[in-house]
Amino acid sequence: MPDETDAELFRHHMQYLAAHFTVLPLPVAVDQLRRGALPRLAAVITFDDGYASNYTVARPILQGFGFSASFFVATGLLGNGQMFNDTVIESIRRCPYTHLDLTALGIGQYELIDTPRRVAAISTLIGRLKYLPMPERSETARRIAELAGGGLSTRLMMNPDEVAQLHRDGMDVGCHTVNHPILANLSAEAARSEIDGSFAFIRELTGKKPVSFAYPNGRPGRDYHAEHVEMVRRAGFELAVSTATRGASPSDDLYQLPRIGIWSATDWKITANLASIYLQ
């Protein structure tokens, strides 16, 4: 959730980048990488999924530093959509019960008497749902929300107008499929439709062909395969990023660029992660 602490930490990260790195828009960095002209300490900032906090929290801070970032949005979730994992997180977080019986869904029972047990339940449930076929995954998440007391949640994702504004701001608006499925779990036809559908949506919204794509979950050989890389290329994207964790090098496939994830990054962690880029 966007709150002051997160904004402060994010601003701190940006200060760190500004002090030590040349921060470039992703398409510019990739062009320089391809030409062997990338500065040694170059960094690119990316956001996946299309969370509302990207707009409300990160955008003004990025603008304050004059940084251009990439935003990979799951186009079908914009507005009132919700990622299945957020449905699980919000359901368990807000659940008024201390015991939740999900045996009707075949996914066990959970004690929710304190925060550590709620966190553990969330982690277990997300692990169980993540690789389910997508309609079943969404339906199971919806049933969990129902059985957990189903309180209304606040809007978590950006709406299309906000995404269009990011584009007008000069940010790189890229695609992350329509519904955020694990591509490797889909038929070829369904995977192509997820990739092409997100491309068409962003082109329509911004009036410009999107350049970049991020594979949902993004682990090479597990969450997507060579056929999906080819689909992304054919759709018209010029580059794509995975979640393989390392810095990029000139020998990298431009349709499978690695990234270094900054999760709940403490100072030492972001420093260590970024240091690992230029020690390679």
**What contacts 137, CB < 8 A, 6 or more positions away?**
84, 129, 130
Interacting span for Zn ion (CB under 5 A) from 3-11, 46-54, 131-139, 240-248:
46-54
Least separation in angstroms between residue 216's CB and Zn ion is 5
Least separation in angstroms between residue 280's CB and Zn ion is 25
Q: Is position 48 an interface residue for Zn ion (rule: CB under 5 A)?
A: yes
Q: Is position 86 an interface residue for Zn ion (rule: CB under 5 A)?
A: no
Q: Is position 223 an interface residue for Zn ion (rule: CB under 5 A)?
A: no
Interacting span for Zn ion (CB under 5 A) from 14-22, 84-92, 148-156, 213-221:
213-221
Structure-block tokens of residue 40: 């040694």
Please give the full DSSP string across 185-212, using - where no structure is assigned.
GS-HHHHHHHHHHHHHHHHHHHSS---E
Least separation in angstroms between residue 279's CB and Zn ion is 27
Q: Name which of 132 and 147 has its Cβ closer to Zn ion.
A: 132
Least separation in angstroms between residue 148's CB and Zn ion is 23
Least separation in angstroms between residue 49's CB and Zn ion is 4
Q: Name which of 91 and 198 has its Cβ closer to Zn ion.
A: 198
Least separation in angstroms between residue 15's CB and Zn ion is 26
* Positive/negative CA dihedral, 58, 60, 61, 65: positive
Interacting span for Zn ion (CB under 5 A) from 40-48, 131-139, 156-164, 190-198:
40-48
Report which residue's Cβ sits closest to Zn ion: 48
**What contacts 183, CB < 8 A, 6 or more positions away?**
177, 191, 194, 195, 215, 216, 223, 224, 225, 228
Q: Name which of 100 and 183 has its Cβ closer to Zn ion.
A: 183
Contact residue for Zn ion among 17, 45, 49, 257 (CB under 5 A) = 49
Q: Name which of 49 and 196 has its Cβ closer to Zn ion.
A: 49
Q: Name which of 39 and 261 has its Cβ closer to Zn ion.
A: 261
Binding site for Zn ion (CB under 5 A): 48-49, 216
